[in-house]
Structure 1
Amino acid sequence: MKIRTSFPYETTHQDVRIPLSDGTRLYARVWRPMTDEPVPALLEYLPHRLTDRTAPRDWQRHPWYAGHGYASVRVDVRGHGNSEGMPGDAYSPVELSDGVEVIEWLAAQPWCSGRVGMFGISWGGCNALQIAALAPEPLEAVVTVCSSDDRYDNDVHYSGGSVLAVDMHARAAAMLASEALPPDPLYAGDAWRETWLWRLEAVEPLVHTWLGHQTRDAYWRHGSVCEDYGSIRAAVLAVGGWHDPYRDTVLRLVEHLGHLPDDRVRGLIGPWPHQYPDRGLPPGPAIGFLQETLRWWDRHLKGIGPGASAEPKLRSWISDSHPPATVYEELPGRWVGDPSWPSPNVGFVSYGLADAGTRSRRAPSTGPEGTPGSPGTRAEDAAPVLVRSPLHTGLDAGRFRPSGDDADLPPDQREEDGKSVCFDFAVEQETWILGRPRVRLRLTSPTPRGQVVARLCDVAPDGASTLVTRGVLNFSARRGRDKAVEWTPGTTEDVDVELNGIGHAFEVGHRIRLAVSSAYWPWIWPQPGSEAGFVLDPAGSTLELPVREVTVDAITFAEPEQSEPLGVVIPLTLDGQRPERLVVRDVAQGEWRLEVNPRYGGTRDYPDGLEFTEDAVDTYTINESGPLSARTRSDWSLRLHRPELPWDVRIETRSEIACDATSFSTSDEVVCREGDEVVFHRTWERRIPRNAG
């Protein structure tokens, strides 16, 4: 990583309040080049508190852009950080309309040329796309990183129509804790306490809304730009990582933004996790991402430079075969370029499951009493097989949104493969895949509800199994995500499962493995009756791989560089840090528990005197007794302390989800203290009908 200390422009920064039409003022930090000439403005718009939580990351890029001739602006969403107003739902109409007003305010400033770009990662990448779909006139270019174009089926809530227990729960709990944080008196002034207490009365756990919409209804269609790609007029650079769950958005944007001129849409997918590609967090290699975006801004906001016209429309990383591990500093592989998406370099190749060379299997059975068969069944034995996975299948899935930590990625999949039905295909010549694999399965379900999970693995000659990609289908969503249709028990249907996109090269001598399971906890919430599994008929089932032509493409990137860091200090403590992922098995009780430390930051000392401490643990439990034993819990503890004021605030939250056959039960609690005084305490209990998820 190169730290840039000199730039074409000297810079300055100041904090301002941006007025909205209803009188609310949003807190903003503006970095500007010291010049008398108006310059374009770049906006990053988030709820994640610019004076503390995102401050270290903000200082890596906003001053860098200012040093290259842009006014770079970071704004807190209404009701968050030091912005006024009440917190609301993610991507609410109010949040998006506020964003449009901010863009128009920026364009009207005397230091702005009237041309605005918008960028962001995750939440900020999503609302950049959604605001682009509203087409405010000054917004001419967007860089969206690790974002979603489909809020229902490609976000933290649902996958294939199934509830994402692992991230719907964790995300809702994290947002509850975040929304309970107060404004900072150093920036908000004496009104901070009144504003805080006012906000707390309006806080509502987001899980109530998210679980209340279990099919793709109007709630999820709002903000999903896939509903109308044609509404986007700004130039779009879409960026993702193969280890980020949102990466398919990049492929869809490149495909569906064809109404834009040729140089106004580009896609870039690297080996990265849910992080900006210049931060150097594993897996790498990292790239000079700020330089890439600068060329984008220069072309579309200043009208200078060649822009993207000479580049492939999609640049992707193809990883080589590699042994399984939970972290890689860098993955082996290479960059490739494709002129469009779908690409003329990619064609689907079909593998019949009845033709698999080996198959680990469970013996055919008409009910739940089937017994395990022996691995290595020959392909000619293509009789239907019972798929009935243990309910704790999925504990080795890895983190849903990897962020560069040591336990993020899936370990060796042999144990998970042993709980699945597997179909292996020998790799006789190097095989590159790029895109979304597809599986068609002929299934017979003995119950009206259930789910199927398909994992694609790269199996080395020594048997090590590396997860490549995966996909999920809730049986009730098999005829569309907008409806819930129960399966008629005992009947046979063909279902299609689309796996997440990937770029991967299978090495000669390895095996391509399709592993099929009936459970995947805690990624997806198990369905009532799903412990019975289902019967799979290999004779009517296929795996289709998007096989890419093997090419040598001259694609390179500059070395990563950033501006000088903010100077946040992480103090050493005597307390040992809990493991990132800990699996506990209670043999006598038949219970499995996964404890996750999300590693959001620990204790940090800021240059402005703030001491910020946060600690969290997410727990996922399931019992062999049945799928209705599944439950989740998240505990958060946060402290904001300014010794010089003095100011000391603590927040503790608890969030739980459990279920029965007909309902989800949620329980949430928030306790806020100023010093030793409890200033707010509230609990919520809800029962939410289980109509699909």
Structure 2
Amino acid sequence: MLNRGFSVSEDQWITLKDGTRLSTRIWMPEGSEGDPVPAVLEFLPYRKRDGTSPRDESTYPVFAAAGIAGVRVDIRGSGESEGVIDGEYTPRELSDACEIIDWIANQTWSNGNVGMMGISWGGFNCLQTAALKPKALKAVISIASTVDRYNDDIHYKNGCHLYANLSWAATMLAYQSRSPDPALVGDTWKDMWLERLEGEPYFLEEWMQHQRRDAFWQHGSICEDFDNFDTPALVIAGWADGYRNTPLKAIEGIGTKAKALIGPWIHKYPHFAFPKPRTDFLSEAITWWNRWLRDENNGAEAIPQMRAFILDGPRPTHRREQDPGFWVAKQCWETPQLDIFSVADDQTLVAGKNGGGIGSVYVRSPLDSGTNSGEWFALKPDAEIAGDQRIDDASALTFDSAPFTQEGLYLGRPELSLDLSCEADWENLVARIVDVHPDGTATRVSYGVLNLAHRDSNAAPTAMPIGKKTSITIMLDACGYRFGPGHRMRLSLATASWPLILPSPEASGLTIDTGSIRLAMPALGEHEAITIPAPSNPDPLPVYISHKEGETRRTVERDLMTGMTHYRIYEDTGLEEHPDTSLCGQEIRTECWSINAQDPQSMRGHCEWITRYERQGWTVETRTTSTLTCTKEDWILKASVKAFESDNQIFEKTFESRVKRDFM
């Protein structure tokens, strides 16, 4: 790895064909004008001046020292870029990305080869942009992303409505309402701010209009045409994150040009993620870029197609600093052999297809079941990761295996098939695989959810035949796990997971034929034990000036008089100042999910955000609210945005709409 000097600038603007100027931050290796270099683009709405600056400053200086320019660009309508955002991964956003890539390739300092990288939003749009085949884009690194926008993102999952749909819409409403920085854009800052406040959409309104997997979700889902995707892609995810299926789907769909890496991590870059162990992501990324952007013959093609960390019985604690386990590799990924389990006549989970079962069992979980399910995607290694499953298992139908006498090793996606009946048009089915430790502690290994109206199609759901036994198959999320001797495997079946998924309109429950249950666990099979290097810098994120400490609270309150359960979240980032820009920022999020355990129409989600920025003589703040309630027939959406300059309100806007429930 080189140790080249570099400069950092924010004075370069990219002007698009429609005249919109996008703000950039560029890490430029010394001598690039005389010795052109490749570049890596990251294109996000999360504000390079403050939102992503810590991780940018831990990554792009290392790239620049290795002779690779880093180009961080704010999406239009965010940060200091002009215009107004028009949605998530829209055709205009992807067209803008292609223009930016062309701009980079034609700079005098560029060798004409561009890579694209990102986590979450940036991981999504780098895959989506690559699918459009811009000439200069030679490779991508996609972290915590998806190839299927409908089934593996924060909106819907097998037809179930994720609570993250509202939560993330509320987040984006707050994020997109923030002011640009006058220190960078000058006197136009207020006009730019008012333009985006007036024009920003409330994303949830559009997302709720598309409750089926229609053309809206097919756009940007590269799984629609894997055969046409030919850009080398390093696809990374973590077992503690919601995007754990993507690396597996990518290598199965794209083939040998895709490489998968899955660690124990939450929704963070793997060189500073929790739970540990971390990886030396920066060195690996530089090797990847040098191969595809410099044509360096460094063996990147020989990286095993699948590398994964096999969790070895982590315990669900209040904070997961480091998970036990080991790294494995498979040079070529193949469909795993399956270990089949069924239910015996003593209600145990047994190996083989013919357990016999205990007959038909009616299951109707209390609607407030599932509070230990954690976040759909976890940003911190605390209660955002699924906790001890014993609490949730108490309101589910469970089947435990005998203690393992030899280890059970699994890597891939479990599959569950069973026969059941329903007394309503549809109901939710929640399936979990749980590791029961010798002392009874229960760790979630994998889970899957299914809106039964979507049992055959997410594009064209159909009502369940009332009272008629129906065969169902559900794919659970990918896992890499070792059940050690003395541990038991539990299959847990429920009809609720609050607030992870929202309830069906009638919450009628299900009758399950336990003799039909077949659980197929993907065996690890042939593999190579490998070592993944840890980062040389164990704590790469910069430390900014703290003026106020942050605070996090997450509680469950059950009101025994009213029957209401309230799941409350409070997040305060504290007030921090960037030492180079003197920009101080703070975000406060308050979120509450409420439901009566017997009444599905009682559900309510409510999110409030305060965002505040200040510098000597200048203070701006936005306050946003987002609320989701329902009737049996409709979803009811309400939201508001208020903006303040020096504590004086200068703007207010509200959103209100009703959306017919479409098998949701």
TM range (shorter): over 0.9
- Please, which of 155, 162, 167 is the counterpart of residue 157 of structure 1? 155
- Please, which of 311, 331, 346 is the counterpart of residue 323 of structure 2? 331
Cα contact 2:571–2:589 (8 A) shared by 1: yes
Cα contact 1:357–1:425 (8 A) shared by 2: no
Specify the alignment match of 1:174 in structure 2: 171
What amino acid maps onto 1:290 in structure 2? Answer: L
* 1:463, distance to aligned residue in structure 2 (A): 1.7
Q: How does 1:557-636 map to 2 (within 5 A)?
A: 557-561=533-537, 566-573=542-549, 577-579=551-553, 581-598=554-571, 601-607=573-579, 608-636=581-609
Q: Does 1:34 align with 2:30?
A: yes
What amino acid maps onto 2:213 in structure 1? Answer: R
Specify the alignment match of 1:400 in structure 2: 376
Cα contact 2:37–2:68 (8 A) shared by 1: yes
* 1:306, distance to aligned residue in structure 2 (A): 2.1
What amino acid maps onto 1:597 in structure 2? Answer: Y
Q: How many residues of Structure 1 are paired with residues of Structure 2 in the alignment? A: 654
Cα contact 2:230–2:254 (8 A) shared by 1: no
Decide whether aligned partners of structure 1 residues 556 and 624 sit closer, same or farther in structure 2, where only a CA change above 3 A counts: closer
Q: How does 1:235-274 map to 2 (within 5 A)?
A: 235-258=232-255, 262=256, 264-274=257-267
Deviations 1:217-261 (A, max 9, x none): 000001111101123222100011111111211001111112xxx
- Please, which of 511, 524, 530 is the counterpart of residue 535 of structure 1? 511
What TM-score comes out, normalization by structure 2 length?
A: 0.96
Q: Does 1:474 align with 2:451?
A: yes
Cα distance in structure 2, aligned partners of 1:509 and 1:633: 43
Range that drifts further, 21-30 or 326-335: 326-335
Specify the alignment match of 1:219 in structure 2: 216
Cα distance in structure 2, aligned partners of 1:451 and 1:430: 33
Q: Does 1:277 align with 2:307?
A: no
* Counterpart secondary structure, 1:522: coil
What amino acid maps onto 1:250 in structure 2? Answer: P
Cα distance in structure 2, aligned partners of 1:10 and 1:564: 19
Cα distance in structure 1, aligned partners of 2:582 and 2:2: 28
What amino acid maps onto 2:236 in structure 1? Answer: V
How much is the aligned-residue C-alpha RMSD, in angstroms? 1.7
* 1:571, distance to aligned residue in structure 2 (A): 2.6
Q: How does 1:193-208 map to 2 (within 5 A)?
A: 193-208=190-205
Cα distance in structure 2, aligned partners of 1:569 and 1:400: 31
What amino acid maps onto 2:340 in structure 1? Answer: S
Specify the alignment match of 1:692 in structure 2: 663
Cα distance in structure 1, aligned partners of 2:13 and 2:544: 25
* 1:383, distance to aligned residue in structure 2 (A): 1.1
Cα contact 2:233–2:258 (8 A) shared by 1: yes
What TM-score comes out, normalization by structure 1 length?
A: 0.92
* Counterpart secondary structure, 1:300: helix
Decide whether aligned partners of structure 1 residues 339 and 355 sit closer, same or farther in structure 2, where only a CA change above 3 A counts: farther
* Counterpart secondary structure, 2:520: strand
Cα contact 2:330–2:528 (8 A) shared by 1: no
Identical aligned residues as a percent:
37
* Counterpart secondary structure, 2:194: helix
What amino acid maps onto 1:14 in structure 2? Answer: S
- Please, which of 10, 14, 17 is the counterpart of residue 9 of structure 2? 14
- Please, which of 311, 322, 346 is the counterpart of residue 319 of structure 1? 311
Cα distance in structure 1, aligned partners of 2:528 and 2:53: 40
Cα distance in structure 2, aligned partners of 1:310 and 1:92: 35
Cα contact 2:311–2:324 (8 A) shared by 1: yes
Q: Which runs of 5+ in 2 are unaligned?
A: 350-354
Cα contact 2:329–2:527 (8 A) shared by 1: no
- Please, which of 420, 423, 427 is the counterpart of residue 399 of structure 2? 423
Deviations 1:40-94 (A, max 9, x none): 0110000011111111111111111011001110000011110011111010100
- Please, which of 431, 439, 447 is the counterpart of residue 454 of structure 1? 431
Decide whether aligned partners of structure 1 residues 187 and 306 sit closer, same or farther in structure 2, where only a CA change above 3 A counts: same
Range that drifts further, 182-191 or 545-554: 545-554
Q: How does 1:276-425 map to 2 (within 5 A)?
A: 276-279=269-272, 281-343=273-335, 346-354=336-344, 358=348, 382-425=358-401
What amino acid maps onto 2:491 in structure 1? Answer: L
Cα distance in structure 2, aligned partners of 1:583 and 1:560: 40
Question: Which 4+ stretches in 1 moved above 4 angstroms?
Answer: 562-567
Cα distance in structure 2, aligned partners of 1:145 and 1:194: 35
Cα distance in structure 2, aligned partners of 1:468 and 1:230: 32
Cα contact 1:278–1:560 (8 A) shared by 2: no
Q: Does 1:664 align with 2:654?
A: no
* 1:39, distance to aligned residue in structure 2 (A): 0.4
Decide whether aligned partners of structure 1 residues 219 and 560 sit closer, same or farther in structure 2, where only a CA change above 3 A counts: farther
Cα distance in structure 2, aligned partners of 1:543 and 1:675: 60
Cα distance in structure 1, aligned partners of 2:538 and 2:69: 16
What amino acid maps onto 2:13 in structure 1? Answer: R
Specify the alignment match of 2:20 in structure 1: 24
Specify the alignment match of 1:362 in structure 2: none
Cα contact 1:389–1:517 (8 A) shared by 2: yes
Specify the alignment match of 1:58 in structure 2: 56
Deviations 1:569-595 (A, max 9, x none): 22345xx8351x110110000010001
Cα contact 2:635–2:658 (8 A) shared by 1: yes
Cα distance in structure 1, aligned partners of 2:189 and 2:247: 40
* Counterpart secondary structure, 2:393: helix
Decide whether aligned partners of structure 1 residues 450 and 565 sit closer, same or farther in structure 2, where only a CA change above 3 A counts: closer
Specify the alignment match of 1:374 in structure 2: none
Decide whether aligned partners of structure 1 residues 485 and 380 sit closer, same or farther in structure 2, where only a CA change above 3 A counts: closer
Cα contact 2:434–2:443 (8 A) shared by 1: yes
* Counterpart secondary structure, 1:553: strand
Decide whether aligned partners of structure 1 residues 563 and 34 sit closer, same or farther in structure 2, where only a CA change above 3 A counts: farther
Cα distance in structure 2, aligned partners of 1:174 and 1:598: 12
Specify the alignment match of 1:673 in structure 2: 644
Specify the alignment match of 1:519 in structure 2: 496
Cα contact 1:528–1:628 (8 A) shared by 2: yes
Range that drifts further, 549-558 or 502-511: 549-558
Cα distance in structure 1, aligned partners of 2:6 and 2:303: 31
* 1:357, distance to aligned residue in structure 2 (A): 5.2
Cα distance in structure 1, aligned partners of 2:541 and 2:465: 59
What amino acid maps onto 1:384 in structure 2? Answer: S
Cα contact 1:44–1:74 (8 A) shared by 2: yes
Deviations 1:166-209 (A, max 9, x none): x1111000000111111110001100111111111112210000
Cα distance in structure 1, aligned partners of 2:462 and 2:100: 43
* 1:558, distance to aligned residue in structure 2 (A): 4.2
Cα contact 1:64–1:562 (8 A) shared by 2: no
* Counterpart secondary structure, 1:66: helix
Deviations 1:307-334 (A, max 9, x none): 3233311101101123322422111111
Q: How does 1:113-152 map to 2 (within 5 A)?
A: 113-152=111-150
What amino acid maps onto 1:303 in structure 2? Answer: D
Cα distance in structure 2, aligned partners of 1:70 and 1:356: 62
Cα distance in structure 1, aligned partners of 2:96 and 2:537: 32
Cα distance in structure 1, aligned partners of 2:208 and 2:17: 33
What amino acid maps onto 1:240 in structure 2? Answer: A
What amino acid maps onto 1:595 in structure 2? Answer: R
